[in-house]
């Protein structure tokens, strides 16, 4: 009997002590993350360049507007998406997001074919709902794993972006010229990928909606978000995503502006996305070993180093190194901030607590992506990086003050 019990117990666990059933569900969720992030990467690498094919020269500074409206769509969607999942469950909510992704990519493809900048912008808004759902994957991962493996679960799902770092730039490199008009095949690929995600989501065993998830004790939203730990987590996530988006959105245009070939843009985005997601395999373990605040500080240091590299030259290797460091810095700061955030709310509060966090994060990201092309066009690549540095120093100050005032949590 003891032998059987030991065998059964061994079968229940897998990598890092994660239960096999949890690992299966998290792996499928990571696949969804990878595919949806591929769409996001493809849109980042292609949208602005696609816009340049249909707008007049005096509209160049607004080339990132569809991506900006995608971020605005995220900001407007996080509360409805999160509340929908609280009532109907994660599977229904995530599948709704995939459907919206298909609609948004269809608008982008049709708008490009019509030469309509406005229709392409409308597509960005719809795609924002899909991205808002993708950002909730990391919170769903926490619900699929034991509590003590929270950081690892977030890390594993985030690591799905490694596939995105291969698939997204590859599609951005090879699909634009498949047929005329250029880039329409890229948007068509996004439609197909969202359809695949819709199917994969059907195989994930999400926890059922429980009464206590909606009717349990809840504090007012203001009380939740004004907790010092919540404010640190939210500001860390805002700045991580804001700086990443600011630099990433501008880099394809900056590469062309600096006289490099347009084909360098997908390569640089590939290096950046690898920097964002390869560390996710061990970020959770590092957080467990060194603490969430130490890893957030390492992330800040790497973001600063990325700015320094960007300011030292304009070769393809400067762009690749700067964007790579930016990606790793984003990973440490963002995963750390997300892990910290999950400790600040009760089960019945998770919908509004997570939604407010992402509302703030993507409000910042929408502003950053809009300003990226404007600052680049008016002030240049160097000034854009100085702005990014200022944001990173704000994160350093916020985390540093919190650690001084709450040494027991440091």
Ordered DSSP codes for 257-282:
HTT--TTHHHHHHHHHHHHHHTTHHH
Closest by CA to 223, choosing from 231, 212, 214, 232, is 231
**DSSP state at residue 1:** -
Contact present, 295 and 332 (Cβ < 8 Å) = yes
Residue 134 domain-assigned?
Answer: yes
Instruction: Give domain status of residue 9, yes or no.
Output: no
Residue 410 lies inside a defined structural domain of this protein: no
Q: Please list the residues that pair with 13 across neighbouring strands.
A: 19
Map tokens 């120093």 to a residue: 393
C-alpha dist (Å) from residue 307 to 56, 104, 326, 383, 410: 32, 33, 8, 10, 27
Burial class (CB within 10 angstroms; exposed 0-12, middle 13-18, buried 19+) of 4: exposed
The predicted structure's pLDDT at residue 1: 41
Regions of the chain where pLDDT drops below 70 = 1-17, 58, 147-148, 211-216, 408-410
Give the Å distances, CA to CA, from 190 to 42, 105, 309, 320, 369: 8, 6, 33, 25, 20
pTM: 0.73
Task: Yes or no: say if 357 and 313 are a contact pair by the CB < 8 Å rule.
Answer: no
Give 395: exposed, middle or buried? Use CB within 10 Å, 0-12, 13-18, 19+: buried
What pLDDT was estimated at residue 10?
42
The number of CA neighbours under 13 Å toward the Cβ of 21 is 8
Concatenating the DSSP letter of every residue in 118-185 gives HHHHHHHHHHHHHHHHHHTHHHHHHHTS-GGGHHHHHHHHHTTHHHHHHHHHHHHHHSTTSSSSTTHH
Q: How many CA atoms lie within 13 A of 22 on its CB side?
A: 23
Query: Which residue, chain included where needed, has tokens 């991506």?
Result: 67
71 neighbors 236 (Cβ within 8 angstroms)? no
User: Quick one: pLDDT at residue 16?
Assistant: 55
Is residue 8 in a domain?
Answer: no
Tally the domains of the chain.
1
CATH number at residue 343: 1.20.1250.20
Task: Please tell me the predicted confidence (pLDDT) of residue 48.
Answer: 78
Question: For position 195, what pLDDT does the model report?
Answer: 95
Q: Is residue 391 part of a domain?
A: yes
Residue 1 inside a domain? The answer is: no
From residue 124, how far is each of 23, 66, 128 by CA, in Å?
33, 5, 6
Q: CB count, 10 Å around CB of 200?
A: 15
Task: Give SS3 for 403.
Answer: helix
CA 280 to chain centre: 13
Cα–Cα dist 319/322, whole Å: 5
pLDDT given for residue 76 in this prediction: 86
Task: Report the first-to-last Cα separation within the chain, whole angstroms.
Answer: 46
Domain that holds residue 363: 17-405
Residue with tokens 């698939």: 167
Q: Is residue 100 part of a domain?
A: yes
| Amino acid 7: pLDDT | 39
Does residue 2 form part of some domain? no
């Amino acid at each position: 009997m003891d032998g059987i019990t030991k065998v059964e117990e061994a079968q229940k666990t897998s990598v890092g002590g994660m239960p096999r059933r949890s690992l299966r569900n998290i792996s499928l969720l990571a696949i969804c993350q990878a595919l949806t992030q591929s769409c996001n990467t493809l849109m980042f690498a292609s949208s602005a360049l696609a816009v340049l094919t249909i707008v007049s020269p005096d509209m160049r500074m607004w080339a990132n507007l569809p991506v900006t409206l995608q971020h605005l769509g995220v900001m407007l969607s996080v509360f409805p998406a999160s509340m929908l999942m609280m009532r109907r469950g994660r599977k229904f909510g995530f599948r709704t997001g995939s459907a919206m992704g298909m609609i948004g990519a269809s608008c982008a493809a049709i708008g490009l074919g019509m030469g309509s900048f406005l229709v392409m912008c409308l597509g960005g808004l719809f795609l924002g709902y899909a991205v808002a759902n993708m950002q909730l994957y990391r919170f769903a991962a926490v619900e699929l794993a034991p509590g003590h493996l929270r950081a690892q679960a977030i890390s594993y799902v985030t690591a799905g972006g490694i596939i995105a770092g291969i698939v997204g730039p590859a599609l951005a490199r090879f699909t634009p010229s498949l047929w005329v008009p250029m880039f329409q095949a890229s948007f068509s690929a996004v439609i197909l990928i969202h359809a695949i995600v819709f199917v994969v989501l059907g195989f994930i065993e999400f926890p059922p909606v429980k009464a206590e998830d909606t009717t349990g004790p809840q504090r007012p939203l203001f009380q939740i978000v004004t907790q010092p730990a919540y404010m640190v987590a939210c500001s860390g996530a805002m700045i991580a995503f804001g700086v990443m988006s600011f630099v990433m959105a501008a880099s394809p245009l900056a590469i062309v502006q600096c006289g490099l070939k347009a084909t360098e843009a997908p390569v640089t985005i590939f290096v950046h996305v690898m920097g964002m997601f390869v560390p996710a395999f061990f970020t959770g373990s590092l957080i467990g070993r060194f603490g969430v605040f130490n890893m957030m500080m390492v992330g800040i240091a790497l973001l600063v180093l990325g700015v320094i590299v960007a300011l030292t030259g304009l070769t393809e290797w400067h762009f690749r190194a700067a964007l790579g460091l930016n990606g790793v810095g984003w990973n440490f700061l963002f995963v750390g901030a997300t892990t910290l955030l999950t400790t600040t709310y009760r089960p019945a509060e998770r919908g509004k607590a997570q939604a407010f966090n992402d509302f703030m994060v993507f409000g910042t990201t929408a502003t950053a992506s809009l300003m990226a092309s404007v600052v680049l066009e008016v002030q240049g690549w160097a000034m854009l990086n100085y702005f990014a540095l200022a944001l990173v120093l704000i994160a350093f100050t916020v985390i540093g003050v919190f650690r001084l005032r709450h040494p027991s949590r440091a």
